Chains A and B, each alone.
Chain A
Amino acid sequence: MSMTIEERIREEALFGRLPLLKEEREYSTRGIISTGFTYAVAAWCFLIGGYSANVVGAVQGIVTLVCGCTIGVIMSAAASALACNRYGLEQIDYTKSCYGQRGARLILLFYIINQIGWTGMILVMFGKGVTNVALGLGFDGGENLVRMCVLAGLIVGYWVINKGVHVLNVFNSIVFPGLLIVTGFLYWAIFKSADWATICAQPPIAPQDPGLNYILSFEYGLGAGFSWWPGIGFLTRNTDTQRNSLYPQVLTMGFGMGVVCCTGLLAGLVFRSYDPTVWMIKVGGPLFGVLSLLLVAIANVSASAMMMYTAALALRHVGMFRALPWGKLTLLGFIPVMAYVVTPSKLYDGGSAFLAYNATMFAPISAVLLVDYFWLRRGRINVSQVFEDDPAGHYWFWNGFNLPALFCAFFGMGLYIWLLNPVTYEAHGPVRWLTASGPATILPMLLYALLASLFLVGKKGGYGETVEALPLRKSNL
């Protein structure tokens, strides 16, 4: 049965780009906390904890994961959460006020890389889980079984997002309580296997440079926190107050996620493997281990579908994809993930680099957004100009690009990679004292404040101009 215009418009507001009105917001405090935990308690937490177990012990790992996740979420969420909540805007639409109408599409690229990377990672985790279960039953499927599972996960994910969001909600209603039980069970099983003193005495599994291990673990925590940047606007535009757009995210996706990541850390240290698909069977034994893995497998497929859903929505910002039917648009997002079907283990083993790379991408992007929204715009943007594609629009800047903002963001990314290359772990400069994310956040902030005062304020970008709605010349919706 085809939908009426009103129904299509309502759907466009909820899952598309129309600003969401106050009376349409669905999340009060309780709603956003439970949704936030549903997102936060995800299978990748076990993997992130495992990466930390590679480089640090229990106490340092707990501190770096919990604090890193919390700080990362605050830095990535503060500007986006408040703006998306106040104006009911989707994340990339809000980003246009800072990076420009076309510049925001460059940011969109990092958004899509984040979604595709995590989707691939957790689908390989799903494949590895199935392979290990099969191995326990006497069948060695090897790399090909992993490939088949990744492909199967992609097909199921594609089916789910084409069936609609309600199917995802059904998945999540099973997955979230299940993962909560698994987390509780894992903590119990870990402390049954070893007491606190024994856990603390465990050395890291595969330490790198002695002066760098602690920083690496902190960067993993920060990377996990910054990884939420693409998802923040999707959630917070649907919250009912400014407080509910910020605090619950810090509590759930920051602190809560950090605590769940510690399961992976402690289990990794005790059972001497960073890979949850290996240690889960050791922790839970043949029955509970396999059950836990199966639940994680379902969670992974569900989470990958959710990420590909938001990635497909984000692709609508690109003019050439805007008119594509939903089925084709979602298919487009799945194509790059096929790399994980071709070389699953190689990409999975490089997961810690991808995790740190999230901080590389989103720390400077968030830093510039913070200065732009709080300092330069005093927490106000002109919503009509977000949808204005005419060169006379406020957010057109230079041919659609806010060059100082983009320069500062890319400068921050380059600085991060120079300080700490997330792939080779090559370190330079004061990274051992200041971390890589710290300078890659602070310096772009200061530089952007300076460049904006020289080239933007009073000249371009609508700084200090009216925030009242102006008539649209050329809509970009």
Chain B
Amino acid sequence: MSIATTVHGEHPAEHYPGGLLRWLTTTNHKDIGTMYLLFSLVMFFVGGLMILLVRAELFQPGLQLMKPEFFNQLIGVHALVMIFAALMPAATGFANWMIPLMIGAPDMALPRLNNWGFWLLPPAATLLTLPFVLALFGVGDGAIATGWTFYAPLSVQGGLGVDFAILAVHILGISSIMGSINIIVTIFNMRAPGMTMMKLPLFAWGWLITAFLLIATLPVLAGAVTMLLTDRHFGTHFFDAAGGGDPILFQHLFWFFGHPEVYILLLPVWGLMPHVLATFSRKPTYGYTAQVYGFIAIGLLSVIVWAHHFFTVGMPVPALIYFMFSTMAISVPLAVLFFCWIATMWKGSMTFETPMLFAVGFIVLFGIAGLTGLVLADVAADAQYHHSYFVVAHFHYALFAGGIMGVMTGVYYWLPKWTGHMYSERLGKLHFWLTVVSFNLTFIPQFFLGLAGMPRRIPDYALQFAEFNAISTVGAFILGISQLLFAWNIWSCVRGGPKAEARAWEGAEGLEWELSSPPPHHSWETQPVVK
């Protein structure tokens, strides 16, 4: 792809409100992207603090610090915060910042919808966490204690926190649907001349599939939790066996959303990886078309495999076999992606700046998530692993090593573009090594705990599990504290540092690197032409 480049200066008539009003009323994709990313960072620390309390409780057997009810609340809200308020907004922040720059659009197609989509998030996050505060004043019995899955009948019988979480999930869902609509219509209608769909940057492709998955599955989640709400307060019995309902129906509805949600969190990262790997290998991306079809195949497969999350519930054998093989089939397009990532690096002039370190770390650790996922997809083996710490370790390799480390890759890669400054490479590398070592220290023991039979979501455990739990807790605290380096590095980079050039990385290719760093407030007012 060659680009007829343009030189961009500041817009002569650039004016916008200052102070708080700018952020409340902004329709600029970069401002909104920044708000999403900041919100995500804050909620990452909120969710992280919750799980550090959980890990502190699990440091030793017996109940040390909290009652089991509070322990359950922390686990459930940690997951909801990390998924809906940290990872998803981070990916949406990336999309807002980068998709218009990458496709040569002056802004997102629907800028006011964009503003609205963001400002729904803070109230929703408040609703999720408010029951903790209310309980301190004697109102209600705390936050949702069902885990992030809201399983009935526990959620039907739960306290005030369930209602708050149901409302929060509705609002978060509306926000995500607004964001998805905006991304789809922006990619379809705002591309620069010459940018055909098969020249679209892979990050935009990853997000396009993500947006369609959100559109297809969020209404089902919203429907399920609305039905839960009516079961709780309006006398319906959708999920109440005593009234002719079926609690298993809730699991089907939830996981019809919940499994694609995994790919919703990961597809933007998979889209970003080829850019980083190509940049620091100084080679073109290997297998562009294969990766596009890989994204599409994974998107399609992700909506037909949901029941592997509850193999043990008692399904007919043909259903078990169908869900086992369809789940395993996902490994085929995923292996294509892994192959393309590795082939992109093959014989490249590789250098290992922080984004590349995170990208390579992502490939290795996310590979472990994939392999342990295959183990869990085996219906016979799953009977042993189900609801154990093996599952917890597996999905943290997917969502921390795959999701959060992927987000960190993107932050380090694009931070010079966003801020106009280079971050501290020394601090970035220290952050990477501390993160990788402490992450493995936290979660490798959890594989063994799970294999030995330790169930998840239990605040106490048998003595035989004590050593692995102690190691895991030490790892978790190092992991949590080392993220302060990440925040500090971002803060320092925003405030100053060596000036970043338009093409901040020597090997970077794409429209976004033609603009100055940071880009002008109104980017691409002059249409780029992609040849």
**Is B a genuine binding partner of A?**
no
| A positions within 8 Å CB-CB of B | none
